[in-house]
Amino acid sequence: MSPSTPSNWNYPTAVRFGPGRIRELGAACAQLGMKNPLLITDPGIARLPILETATAAIRADGLRVGVFSDIQGNPIGSNVSNGVAAYRSGDHDGVVAMGGGSGLDAAKAVALMVGQSRPLWDFEDIGDNWTRVNAEAMAPVVAVPTTSGTGSEVGRASVITDSSTHTKKIIFHPGMLPAIVIADPELTFGLPGHITAAVGMDALSHNLEAYCANGNHPQADGIAMEGIALIHRYLVTAVREPNNVDARSAMMSASLMGATAFQKGLGAMHSMAHVIGAKLDSHHGLTNAIVMPYVLQANKEAVAERLGRLARVLDLPESGFDGFLQWIIDLRKELAIPHTLEGLGVTHGHVTEYAAAAVLDPSTGSNPLPFNSDDFATLFQNAIDGALT
């Protein structure tokens, strides 16, 4: 891509980063004019002490707060509509989005929909659908990530599954970007090792696909490269030493950086993961981790030079594309990531259907190479069989 290629560049929001910053949550809500926010999270977070930490921080500033946690791991449209009903019945005036990708995405979608008269799917990220939004009626959002993978706290979209078609749809509006982020790495201390690994690989997929995506965005490339370097240095430590504040902080930064960078675009890893997640309700980060080397291999002719540069930056034992691919394979093995899609229940009988759906995924358009349904069929087959050819 030529450095002179015309492009549009944006960068995200105000972030209060560091250990203990959760204590500032109430002040952040008040700064946005909230007096009675609705804290939206997933059922797992709702059962943990960090929920009480968050609600106590809100009440400490004299605010009221309600909690809504009826959200699936891959949130669906009814989760959003039920959240809207809870927002309205509780007379709330803002949203605290707390959790990993499911909680953050659902909460941002609720904040969008509380002021709309059109259905959710009218705002799918297609063409200029976002202009249909009544932006003035959207609720303000403070985002509080509790994992280090999705980066949704600095994103302008939510991924919501349409249960009627079993497809993941991207709901987009620039105003969905949270106004303030409280990024406190201490909130991730209790995250189990296998989840830390899966969400960390999700952060890697975001940075890596953004770095390799077609298009001209040198700022995103620089951020993605540094995000990958942080993951290279700290992910394994975060898994092995769950209360290591430096490792947790670095991974939270890398997660945020990946979502900042992928405004440039993503690629076939996410095309495949979105389809599998919608059909089989698989963990998004784990799915990205499994398909990662197969997608890199399929894109080799377009990304070899870039990944060779990364191999040098990371000072890997082996240089070039092959050295980088070997690092990915070794990292997955060290983190106990399955090598094939078989463990997620993907079979050869799914290939034709899944390949056709992956072509239509929005992430496909920014993949380094143009992939058709036959290309995706080969990718799915290779990822089922473990064939890195």
| Residue 56 burial (C-beta neighbours within 10 Å; 0-12, 13-18, 19+) | middle
Whether 257 and 115 map to the same domain: the answer is no
Domain contains 310: yes
Residues 117 and 138 placed together within one structural domain of the fold: yes
Burial of 337 (C-beta count, 10 Å sphere; 0-12/13-18/19+) = buried
189 to each of 108, 203, 244, how far by Cα in Å?
24, 17, 8
- Pair (232, 379) in one structural domain: yes
pTM of the model: 0.91
Give the torsion sign (CA, 259, 263, 264, 270).
Answer: positive
What CA–CA distances, in Å, run from 153 to 12, 61, 126, 168, 318?
10, 23, 22, 19, 35
State the chain's maximal CA–CA distance in angstroms. Answer: 60
Residue 9 lies in a domain: no
Judge contact between 137 and 184, C-beta under 8 A.
no
Cα–Cα dist 17/38, whole Å: 22
- Host domain of residue 249: 193-385
Residues 26 and 173 in one domain: yes
Q: How far apart are CA 343 and CA 281, in angstroms?
A: 13
Q: Is residue 6 part of a domain?
A: no
Q: What is the rounded (10 degree) CA torsion for 261, 263, 267, 270?
A: 90
Q: How far apart are CA 84 and CA 328, in angstroms?
A: 41
The predicted pLDDT at position 166 comes to: 86
CA–CA separation, 362 vs 68, rounded Å?
A: 30
Whether residue 162 is found in the same domain as residue 47: yes
**Considering the domain boundaries, does residue 7 fall inside one?**
no
Tell me if 105 sits within 8 A of 152, measured CB to CB. Answer: yes
Residues of the chain with pLDDT below 50 are: none
* Residue 2 included in any domain: no
* Percent of the chain clearing pLDDT 90 (strictly above): 91
Q: Does 365 fall in a domain?
A: yes
Q: In angstroms, rounded to a whole number, what is the distance separating the alpha carbons of residues 39 and 251? A: 24
Inter-CA distances, 326 with 226, 289, 296, 311, Å: 20, 14, 11, 10
124 and 217 both lie in a single domain: no
CATH code of the domain covering residue 181: 3.40.50.1970
217 and 178, same domain (yes or no): no
Instruction: Please indicate, yes or no, whether residues 336 and 287 belong to a single structural domain of this protein.
Output: yes
The DSSP annotation for 185-231 comes to GGGGTT--HHHHHHHHHHHHHHHHHHHHSSS--HHHHHHHHHHHHHH
Token pair recorded at residue 151? 């980066």
Whether residue 351 is contained in a domain is answered as: yes
What are 96's strand-pairing partners?
39, 142
Strand pairing partners for 16? 182
Task: Among 173, 188, 203, identify where a domain stops.
Answer: 188
Alpha helices per DSSP H over 241-350:
245-261, 268-280, 284-298, 300-313, 320-334
CA distance 161 to 170: 9
pLDDT for the residue 4: 52
Pairing relation of β-strands 167-172 and 38-40?
unpaired
User: What's 255's domain CATH number?
Assistant: 1.20.1090.10
| Residues 200 and 238 sit within 8 Å (Cβ to Cβ) | yes
One domain for residues 249 and 351: yes
Return d(Cα 214, Cα 200) in angstroms, integer.
23
Structure-block tokens of residue 323: 């050295």
Domains of the chain: total: 2
Helix (H) / strand (E) containing 316: none
CB-CB contact of 45 with 61 (8 Å): no
Is 4 a member of any domain? no
CB environment 289-326: b (16+ within 10 A), e (fewer): bbbbbbbbbbbeeebbebbbebbeebebeeebbebbbb
